[in-house]
Amino acid sequence: MAIYTVIECDSCSNTLDSVGATPKYLMIKKAREKGWSVGKQIRCSDCKKHKKEDGKDAQEK
């Protein structure tokens, strides 16, 4: 039986996983290297892009 460490996007449930018991700080580092936003909410790179685009559209209107 394998152990997986998983981070899940709060918006779309996309996951970033690692085999083994990876410490939290290393998973956060890995996620940020792949373009994820980790803070109060965890967002994958796709949701992060969509949120920025939505914010620009709202500011222009």
Residue 49 belongs to what domain range?
4-60
Pairing of strands 15-19, 4-8: antiparallel
What pLDDT is stored for residue 29 in this prediction?
Answer: 95
pTM over the 0.85 mark:
no
Overall domain count for the chain:
1
Rounded Cα distance, 2 and 28, in Å: 21
Q: Which residues of the chain have pLDDT under 70?
A: 52-61
